[in-house]
Structures are given as C-alpha cells and as structure tokens.
Structure 1
Amino acid sequence: MRAVIVVVVSLLSSAALAQGDAREAWWWDDAWWSAGSLPAARTLPVETRSASYRSGEVEVPVTITRPKGKGKYPGVLFVHGRRGLDDLVLLHAARLAARGFVVYAPDLYTGRFISRFPIEHDYALEDDLSAGLDALLELPDIAGRRVCAYSHTRGGYYTLKLAVAKGRQKDGLACYVSYYPHWQDPNAPEPLQIYSYAPEIDRLELPVLVFVGDEEQYQRKRVIDSSVEALRQNGRAVTYVVYPGVGRGFDFRPPNVRTFADDLAAKDAIARAAQFMAEALR
C-alpha cells in the first residue's frame, strides 16, 4: 500500500528547521548547498496548430502545441476548466509543451456553443472528451500508447469522469494531474459541493498528482482534502502538493493581479507535473 505524499512548499524554512535536520527534508538539495549547483530545466521551443475532431454530430475544435521540429513526444490531454480555453489557459498549454510533450487541448464549450463560466454541467461533454482522447491517441507524433490527463478546476471533474465513468483509466490514460480540481458533480446539491466528493474518486486507480494553494476557496479545498484522504485510504498512489500563501488560479492569474508567490507555485508545479508524467509515460 502506498501512502499519500503531502508536500507543503514554504517560502520560510524556519518551521522546517525547527522540526529537525533540514538535510532529512524532501526539499533538500545537497548539490546546491555544497557546490551552488542549480538544476537546468529543459525548455524547448514550441509550435501550435489548430485542428478538430468529431464526437457524434459535434465538431470539437482543438489546439495542439508541441516542441518544434520532427520527432515523437509523450502526449497530454489538456482539459480546460469552467473559464474555457482562453488565451491565458493556452499559455499554460504552451509552457507544458515546452517541457517536451504534445499537448492536446480540446475546446469543449465551443463545440457545443456553451458560454464561458457555465453554472450547470452538460454530461455530453464527457463523451466529447472521450472522443478527444481517441483522437489524441491516433496522432502520429505521440510516443507510446497512453497519455496523461492534465486539468484544472472543473476540468478536474471532466477528467475524473473520463478516467472512471468512461473506463479510460484502463484504456489510454497513464496518470492524472490536476490543479485545484472541482471533485464533485457541479449539478449536485450545495451540501454535497461542500461536504462530499464525487463517488468516482473511490474508483480512481491512476497515479494522481494534485496542486492547490492553502488559500483556496474553503468549499473547494475541503472536498480536495477529503478526496485525497479517500485515495490514501484506498491505497492509491497520490501526491498532494499544497502551496502556502497562494490562492485559486495561481497558474493562469494575469499580470495585473499576479504575485511572486503565484509565480513560484506555478513554476514549481509545472516542473513537478512534467517529471511526474514523464515517469508515468516512460
């Protein structure tokens, strides 16, 4: 049985030092401490193209971002949240592709003429997303036969349903990554939005990586916390990263409201996500 790994990234080290020798902490880097060595992140230039795929009678637009040039790379199904697939979200997709992935980002709302920030959930989107996974797996520049699901906010629910309800955790998916996911049916009554999680959590078997700020909205973080605990109790491989001093939307908050803490969290998260997915897709 694999226990949950709770990673809390702090800007202040005094609390960690007070608990014992810092060299025993998860974040310790002896090469940096002893020799001033910093890890060199692999950053590749990227290119973007537009495409579409069919889901029944619906034509779903998709943005594909990948490293420039020829060659195959691991695939990522990038699933937007309630705000839709706008320019800020596409910047995140490009940053992820620069880590060495083919990032396939369906625009689920446009395909069904759904306005941004919908209140209710249209269950047909789950079929559209499953069709998108099939289309991604057919791309000739994808390395391997499986990809990872990567999402944020309500996209976390879409990908949860894709993995469990649509059975894709055993058919095309290798791992699950999500930023502050909405892990409850958006159409469920308000008490369930706060005090319960989607039942699919109990059947999720994929390796899971979740990011959240400790200043996340209470009703969302409470559900995420209880979901992670349920995954742990079920013996699942789950890594839960909590960033102090950071709130909702830290990965795509625009420059006029962005903070240094947002940037630290976003850079750390995408590096961890890239490593996590590379290992799952190896």
Structure 2
Amino acid sequence: MTRLTARDFDPRVLDLFDRYVHGQLSRRDFIAAAGAGVLASMAPSFAAPLVAADDPRLRAAYVEYPSPQGYGTVRGYLVQPAGAAGKLPAVLVVHENRGLNPHIEDFARRLALEGFLAFAPDALFPLGGYPGNEDKARELFARLDQARTRADFVAASQALKAHPAANGKVGVVGFCYGGGMANYLATVQPDLAAAVPFYGAQPPASEVPKIKAPLLIHDAENDARIRAGWPAYEAALRAAGVRYEYHLYPGVEHGFNNDTTPRYDEAAARLAWRRTVAFLRQELAA
C-alpha cells in the first residue's frame, strides 16, 4: 500500500487537521469539515520504528525521579548506548501534546545510538500515562496543570544532569508542544547547554534575555500558526545577544519530522536530524 504524504491532501484539510491536533477544533467539527476517512488516513502508525525497542546496542528502562514542585514524580524512558565508555552528553526529549508515545521513544533510541544519554519524560504520567490512543492522549493532555507539568520537565532536566552516566551537560529537543517546552526551559534554566525546538511556540519577548543556551530552531514553511511568532522572537533574540540558528524548511508542514504521520517529509527530517546531532555534539561535549 502506498504511504500517504502531506502532498496527498488539500492544504485546507491540513490546516483543519493542525487546528484539530492543537485543540482549536473538536473531533466532531473536524469530521464535519473534512470527513472521517481523511481523519483516519492522517492517524499515526507506529508499526515500523527506525530503532527496535529491544535493539541490543542500547540499554533502555522506564525510570522515575522526584518532582516536588510539579506532580510529585516524573516518569520517563531512559536510553543509553550499551557498553559506553566514559560520561555521556545528555538530551531531554520532549514529546508533542500526546504524551510519551512510541514515536518519541523511537526518537530517544535514535539519539542513544548517536552516543547520547536520552531521557523522554511522559507528561501524562500523573493521569495514568500515555493511554495508547492518540485521541485519548490529546483529551488527557488538556487536563494537565501546565504550571506543574513545566516543573516536572525542569525536574527531569536536573535529574538527567545529575545522572551518573551523564557528563554534566544537558540539551533539550522538543516537538510542537515539546518545542515550546524547549524554548521555555531555555528561559528558566541558565545551566541548560543547548535547546532544539522543532516548530514550537515562542516564549514572551520579556523572557528571552534570560536565555543562556544556544538555540537550533527548526520551522516548517507551511505553518502559519508558529511562524507568526517568529519575527518577534528573532528580534528579541538579537536584542539579547542570544546565539541561535534558524532553519526554515520550504514546502513542508508543521510536524514534518514525525515519520508516523502523512505530514512527514523525509528530506527535511533527515536534514534537520543531521543538523540536530551535529549541534548537540558540539554544544554538549565535555
């Protein structure tokens, strides 16, 4: 069966789907506007991860850390290369607004194969964890107290930095909601060593002078919602003297890096991956 891509959909449908995914349109209203068949065809498929969960080159486990300012405990997926010699650069991986699904676990494994200690927390853990269904996950996500969730990610970053296998430098990579979280963490953690937001919401301009970490920012051309905030963010970054790289990927959609959905763009995702790995290696070196 031929795999669908974003080019198989009318741009108006893609816009409706983006609004649905981000809670601006109900499932009923999306189906009424675009059709149930379209929604089903755009659902993610987790059948073929790039790195298998039992890959012998890796050591992976679900671990918990205290989060006294958040929900009390943060739980996530910790992956590292098996038999690594010496301390490892550490990367916090922040999911989209569906919690720790198989795609994000796969991304953490990909980072581990590149020599990183990767930790992907599940923001939905206080509500029972990722439920195995994207629609249910999205519904649960709306019930989170974001102030407590942000505190959980701060706690996760600090726990990762203190991990015995880590070299003391932590970067963060996030997607959509996670991209916004990567931007947020950069404003509240002066010891963060690098941040890589993929198509994430920008922080208020007043918070930008607090950023000490270098940024590698990935945006999609066909993403009016996120791109609308970029000019003000860029102006604030320049005014504050923050070191950053900005990459706009032409002709692709919000979510282009997620290879489980039709919005995936292989060429853009591969380029963003190469840039991300090189950036993290440079900034997180001991």
Q: How does 1:57-96 map to 2 (within 5 A)?
A: 58-71=72-85, 72-96=87-111
How far apart, in 2, do the equivalents of 1:228 and 1:139 lie?
34
Q: Which amino acid aligns with 2:102?
A: D
CA contact (8 A) 2:94 2:175 kept: yes
Pairing of 1:1-282 with structure 2 (within 5 A): 45-56=57-68, 58-71=72-85, 72-113=87-128, 116-117=137-138, 118-119=141-142, 122-143=146-167, 145-165=168-188, 168-169=189-190, 171=191, 173-184=192-203, 197=204, 199-216=206-223, 218-254=224-260, 257=262, 262-282=265-285
Any conservation in 2 of the 1:67–1:101 contact (CA below 8 Å)?
A: yes
Q: For residues 2-22 of structure 1, give each alpha carbon's deviation from its aligned partner in whole angstroms, at most 9, with x where no partner exists.
A: xxxxxxxxxxxxxxxxxxxxx
State the TM-score, normalizing by the size of structure 1: 0.70
The one-letter amino acid of 1:116's match is A
For residue 281 of structure 1, report the CA deviation from its aligned partner. Answer: 1.6
8 Å CA contact retained: 1:65, 1:104 = yes
Determine helix, strand or coil for the equivalent of 2:256: coil
CA distance in 1, matches of 2:84, 2:115: 12
**Counterpart-to-counterpart distance in 2, 1:111 and 1:125:** 9
State the TM-score, normalized to the length of structure 2.
0.69
Does the CA contact (< 8 Å) of 2:58 and 2:81 recur in 1? yes
Seen in structure 2, the aligned counterparts of structure 1 residues 267 and 91 have a Cα distance that, compared at 3 Å, is same
Q: Judging by fraction of residues, say which structure has more helix.
A: 2
Alpha-carbon separation, structure 2, partners of 1:78 and 1:47: 16
Asked whether the equivalents of residues 77 and 104 of structure 1 are also in contact (C-alpha less than 8 Å), the reply is: yes
**One-letter code of the match for 1:214?**
E
Q: Do the aligned partners of 1:156 and 1:179 also contact (CA within 8 Å) in 2? A: yes
Unaligned segments of structure 2, at least 5 residues: 1-55, 130-135
Kept in 1: contact 2:95–2:174 (CA 8 A): yes
* CA RMSD of superposed structures (Å): 2.3
Number of positions where the alignment pairs a residue of Structure 1 with one of Structure 2? 218
